[in-house]
């Protein structure tokens, strides 16, 4: 059933198809405005605070600092454009850009099946670009006083070239004219250790920096979560966050987890990236948020790995790209062990990336899937 929404200035829109939904929010197509979608949040913890948050974000979109942010590193952000309220029921929400026209869900780049269907020409270079772009975006957002707070694949998008989009800005934490709008959302597996330990604590950029490291690891290791695995020694597996709390991480302590292979080899990571990941996931990074590599350091290191001469193309497979630090192709090694992460099309060609653009977005898949209150 179509939903009619109105803005404060009297403009009205009809919301038609539901294109995504989660714990708290629903995303709709907007009739006659294909470039926009609408998100409505029926039961936020504090509706008045939620409405004020959206209004402040909408106003800030026109302020010079945010204009600069959105014309640069955060060009792919679906910033709230207009605060709206459902005519029947009074539910609050906002209009934002529809990222589906250009981007695919980041999850597609993390999974073998998603890469095959959604990003068939993606390579490790695409993943490295996405990691670098995400780090740049976060560094710029932090510099303007924003904390993403609930950073996770479900909020992130990526295009064929590796450019990154981000949605669900209504959960960002920021201070506007002396009033702080706190982030209350968190997602299992994408929460910094200090927030796992104290879910109600105030969020910081250092929390984003930790989750950035998790996402960089996943992007560069074909989707593998850094804290995945069964506790070594036969302990019971509880969750990724439990492994995190106990420091069970393949990269920092190989013997702490048991993982079923074949797995991407740890040495496919360039040395300086592996060092940053170990700094984030080792005891210092986990226990002392201020000692973690910051988004700006990640951005510099990741962009450096994209420089001329830093990447090699495999002679066997046109989708195999790897660091020049490595003498031979890690993706061929992995394929020989039964796991091809970057398959070629039948006949040995690199799949046509343009085909990805013609793929209809899958129903029910949008950035807005999980909203969890702390």
For 190, 194, 244, 249, 370, the CA distances from 239, given in Å and listed in that order, are: 12, 16, 9, 13, 17
The helix/strand/coil state of 240 is helix
317 binding Zn ion? (CB under 5 A): yes
- What minimum distance in Å lies between the beta carbon of 125 and Zn ion? 13
Instruction: Confirm if 294 and 139 have CB atoms less than 8 A apart.
Output: yes
- What minimum distance in Å lies between the beta carbon of 337 and Zn ion? 13
**Segment contacting Zn ion by CB under 5 A, of 62-70, 171-179, 257-265, 314-322:** 314-322
**Segment contacting Zn ion by CB under 5 A, of 166-174, 177-185, 273-281, 322-330:** 322-330
Rounded Cα gap, residues 95 and 86, in angstroms: 12
- What minimum distance in Å lies between the beta carbon of 320 and Zn ion? 3
- Looking at the Cβ atoms of 66 and 123, the one nearer to Zn ion is 123
Write down the H helix ranges in 228-282: 240-245, 271-281
- What minimum distance in Å lies between the beta carbon of 205 and Zn ion? 37
Rounded Cα gap, residues 187 and 368, in angstroms: 12
230 binding Zn ion? (CB under 5 A): no
350 binding Zn ion? (CB under 5 A): no
Two tokens, residue 193: 């250790």
- What minimum distance in Å lies between the beta carbon of 9 and Zn ion? 57
Q: What is the 3-state secondary structure (H, E, C) of 150-166?
A: CCCHHHEEECCCCCEEE
- What minimum distance in Å lies between the beta carbon of 334 and Zn ion? 9
Write down the H helix ranges in the chain: 47-60, 64-71, 106-110, 112-118, 124-143, 193-197, 205-220, 240-245, 271-281, 283-287, 295-305, 330-336, 354-358
> Residues 187 to 206: which contact Zn ion by CB under 5 A?
none
- What minimum distance in Å lies between the beta carbon of 329 and Zn ion? 3
- What minimum distance in Å lies between the beta carbon of 3 and Zn ion? 50
- What minimum distance in Å lies between the beta carbon of 330 and Zn ion? 8
- Looking at the Cβ atoms of 58 and 268, the one nearer to Zn ion is 268
- Looking at the Cβ atoms of 43 and 336, the one nearer to Zn ion is 336
Contacts of 41-49 spanning 24+ positions with Cβ under 8 A: 41/91, 41/92, 41/93, 41/170, 41/371, 42/89, 42/91, 44/92, 45/184, 45/373, 47/92, 49/181
Angle of helix 205-220 versus helix 271-281 axis, rounded to 10: 130
How many residues interact with Zn ion (rule CB under 5 A)? Answer: 7
- Looking at the Cβ atoms of 344 and 374, the one nearer to Zn ion is 344
- Looking at the Cβ atoms of 257 and 329, the one nearer to Zn ion is 329
Binds Zn ion (CB under 5 A): choice among 320, 321, 342, 367: 320
> Residues 328 to 347: which contact Zn ion by CB under 5 A?
329, 331-332
Instruction: Confirm if 308 and 340 have CB atoms less than 8 A apart.
Output: no
- Looking at the Cβ atoms of 328 and 359, the one nearer to Zn ion is 328
Rounded Cα gap, residues 237 and 365, in angstroms: 29
Nearest to 279 by CA among 255, 306, 297: 297
> Residues 252 to 271: which contact Zn ion by CB under 5 A?
none
- Looking at the Cβ atoms of 126 and 366, the one nearer to Zn ion is 126
Residues 6 or more apart whose Cβ sits within 8 Å of residue 201? 194, 195
- Looking at the Cβ atoms of 58 and 314, the one nearer to Zn ion is 314
Angle of helix 205-220 versus helix 295-305 axis, rounded to 10: 20
- What minimum distance in Å lies between the beta carbon of 314 and Zn ion? 3
**Segment contacting Zn ion by CB under 5 A, of 123-131, 198-206, 253-261, 306-314:** 306-314
**Segment contacting Zn ion by CB under 5 A, of 6-14, 136-144, 174-182, 324-332:** 324-332
222 binding Zn ion? (CB under 5 A): no
314 binding Zn ion? (CB under 5 A): yes
Judged by the rule CB under 5 A, the positions of this chain that interact with Zn ion are 314, 316-317, 320, 329, 331-332
């Amino acid at each position: 059933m179509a939903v009619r929404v109105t803005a404060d200035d009297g403009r009205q829109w009809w919301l038609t198809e539901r294109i995504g939904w989660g714990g708290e929010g629903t995303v709709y197509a907007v009739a006659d405005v294909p470039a926009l979608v609408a998100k409505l949040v029926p039961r936020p913890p504090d509706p008045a605070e939620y409405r004020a948050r959206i209004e402040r974000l909408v106003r800030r979109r026109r302020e010079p600092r945010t204009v600069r942010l959105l014309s640069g590193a955060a060009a792919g952000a679906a910033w709230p454009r207009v605060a709206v309220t459902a005519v029947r029921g009074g539910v609050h929400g906002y209009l934002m850009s529809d990222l589906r026209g250009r981007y695919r869900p980041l999850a597609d780049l993390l999974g073998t099946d998603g890469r095959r269907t959604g990003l068939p020409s993606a390579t490790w270079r695409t993943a490295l670009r996405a990691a670098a772009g995400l780090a740049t975006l976060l560094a710029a957002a932090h510099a303007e006083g924003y904390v993403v707070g609930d950073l996770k694949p479900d909020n992130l998008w990526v295009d064929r070239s590796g450019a990154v989009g981000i949605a669900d800005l209504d959960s960002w934490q920021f201070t506007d004219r002396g009033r702080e709008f706190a982030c209350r959302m968190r997602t299992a597996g994408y929460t910094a250790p200090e927030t796992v330990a104290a879910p109600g604590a105030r969020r910081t950029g250092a929390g984003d920096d930790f989750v950035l490291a998790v996402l960089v690891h996943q992007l560069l290791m074909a989707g593998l979560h850094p804290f995945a695995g069964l506790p070594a020694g036969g302990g019971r597996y509880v969750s990724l966050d439990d492994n995190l709390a106990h420091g069970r991480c393949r990269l920092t302590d190989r013997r702490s987890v048991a993982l079923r292979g074949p797995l991407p080899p740890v040495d496919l990571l360039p040395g300086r990236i592996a060092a940053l990941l170990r700094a984030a996931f080792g005891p210092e990074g986990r226990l002392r948020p201020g000692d973690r590599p910051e988004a700006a350091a990640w951005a510099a290191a990741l962009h450096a790995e994209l420089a001329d001469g830093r990447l090699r193309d495999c002679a066997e497979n046109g989708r195999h790209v790897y660091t020049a630090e490595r003498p031979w192709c890690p993706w061929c090694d992995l394929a020989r062990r039964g796991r091809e992460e970057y398959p070629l099309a039948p006949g040995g060609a690199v799949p046509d990336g343009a085909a990805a653009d013609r793929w209809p977005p899958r129903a029910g898949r949008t950035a807005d899937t999980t909203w969890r209150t702390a």
